[in-house]
Amino acid sequence: MARRNQRKRRPEPPGPSGFLIVDKPSGMTSHDVVDAARRWLGTRRVGHLGTLDPQATGVLPLAIRAATKLIPFIEGGAKGYDGTVVLGSETDTLDLEGAVLSTFDGKLPSESEVEAELKTFLGDIQQVPPMYSAVKMNGVPLHKLARAGEVVAREPKWITFNEIEITRFDSPELDVRVLCSAGTYIRVLAADLGTKLGCGAHLGGLRRTRSGPFVLEQARTFGTIEAAIEDGTVNDCLIQPEIALGFPVLALNAEQTARLGNGGDLPAGELHTQKPGTRVSVVDDEGSFLAVGEIRADHRLWPLRVLPPEPK
């Protein structure tokens, strides 16, 4: 037991909390990017907000240090994608990485026919998760079953397509811009579109342009981040929690900060007119993020998640 205790990790050096938005390159898993961020920032406390397939690129938000405690308040927002659909062939993974299962020898549909069929996906629909996905069946990821040659029945789930727009049509390829709910598979959209058109289709490429409040313009490439490490400005790449959350902000004095740290509720101050249920970002008198709170019916602020203080 004593030897095991000696192997405990040393305490991490202090550092800022926030969100790092990475422009994920193709060929890396989301966990690969998390591992890279741990090296960049010198902390084990890194989590991602929504997996991207290895071949996909684009917005991958990472929560750093204490900001990992804020993931439940941000995850689940709308997702935006730019994707390429290839008409006329189906693959076992529903994308270009898979083995071709069938090809279509007939005349491919016109742009107007494809556009009309895409409109039928708009709104709330049910979508069956693909076999090559991280969804678990009895604790086992579906992609592991698929690679073992198994195909199992999957329950459809409700998802929402808010926008689907064709941005380029050059048969057999077309580019689409999509705004949808979290948990939506664009690979399945491509395959289902091909089924409806009768010619088959698969996803030829995918780039995520939005994940909740985070957009592609905020995403930093590996090269940009590594350059920031070299010049000592990597911490400046982090988006502050109160900016990411987008809640009204309440600043506390020293006495109120101490009360918050002990789990007590607080007067809502200038936010007392906010309706009950409104969530609030709480900061101290120096602007450091402390907690997420909620306005109650009595117009006091109740702490929902208080972040642990960073060691000095």
**Catalytic residues, which ones?**
53
Work out the angle at residue 33's Cα, subtended by the Cα atoms of residues 312 and 96, and round it to the nearest 5 degrees: 165
Closest CA relative to residue 184, chosen from 234, 133, 227, 232: 133
Name the amino acid, one letter, at 64.
I
| Alpha-carbon span 254 to 260, nearest angstrom | 10
What is the token pair recorded at 254?
Answer: 């020293």
| Alpha-carbon span 243 to 231, nearest angstrom | 25
Tell me which residue has tokens 């642990």: 308
| Number of residues written out for the chain | 312
Closest CA relative to residue 259, chosen from 276, 282, 286, 279: 282
